[in-house]
């Protein structure tokens, strides 16, 4: 990897992908948090995904009952585009930890992506009961219920999402859409 060098005083300091610091009011070397991650860092992380997958595969083989490893590997597999393996790992995770709300939520999303809407609705209902302060499961359930051609239940779920997060744009838009179709 070639670095572009800039002169700063008498030293040559690498600038570019490896150097995401800027001179700020707090001094040289402080991280400027207003900047987003540079594309090179995203690319660097994408290059590391197969290595992370290999690590989690070894970890899961060593301890197949580790829910954190199974869940992390499921999310990583989804990121890599291996939806079938991600779905299997999410099912394993909720089997090992039936009270893991985020796993139920992601399982519901994965089931919906596969087109199994009844299984998705069931997983999202479980996630909603386990994550009472999150509007995500209620909104996702509303979209699944709408896809299942049940607008009354979809409106009810969208209202629950709005009760938790009054500014939820998706739930507001879904309710507006449902009012327009009546």
pLDDT digits (tens, 9 = 90+) for 151-169: 999 999 999 999 999 998 8
In this prediction, residues 86-97 reach a mean pLDDT of: 96
Q: pLDDT tens across 9-37, in order? A: 444 444 444 444 433 343 334 444 444 44
**Equal CATH topology for 44-97 and 121-182:** yes
Distances (CA, A) of 58 to 55, 92, 138: 5, 16, 35
The better pLDDT of the pair 172, 26 is held by 172
Class of domain 44-97: mainly alpha
- Collapsing DSSP to helix, strand or coil, 165 comes out as coil
N-to-C CA span, the chain? 59
Classified by CATH at the fold level, domain 121-182 comes out as 1.25.40
Tell which residue, 113, 122, 65, has the closest CA to residue 89: 65
Flag the least confident range among 13-22, 61-70, 122-131.
13-22
Give the predicted TM-score (pTM) of the model. 0.73
Give residue limits of the domains in the chain.
44-97, 121-182
Cα–Cα distance, 66 to 146 (Å, whole number): 35
């Amino acid at each position: 990897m070639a670095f572009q060098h800039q002169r700063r005083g008498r030293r040559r300091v690498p600038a570019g992908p490896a150097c995401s610091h800027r001179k700020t009011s707090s001094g040289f070397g402080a991280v400027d948090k207003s900047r987003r991650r540079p594309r090179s860092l995203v690319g660097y992380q994408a290059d590391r995904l197969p290595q992370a997958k290999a690590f989690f595969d070894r970890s899961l083989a060593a301890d197949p009952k580790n829910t954190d490893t199974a869940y992390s590997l499921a999310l990583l597999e989804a990121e890599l585009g291996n939806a079938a393996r991600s779905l299997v790992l999410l099912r394993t995770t909720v089997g090992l930890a039936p009270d893991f709300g985020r796993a139920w939520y992601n399982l519901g999303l994965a089931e919906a992506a596969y087109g199994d809407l009844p299984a998705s609705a069931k997983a999202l209902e479980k996630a909603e009961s386990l994550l009472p302060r999150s509007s995500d499961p209620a909104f996702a359930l509303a979209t699944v219920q709408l896809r299942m051609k049940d607008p009354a239940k979809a409106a009810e779920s969208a209202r629950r999402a709005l009760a938790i997060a009054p500014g939820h744009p998706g739930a507001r838009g879904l309710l507006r859409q449902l009012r327009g179709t009546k």
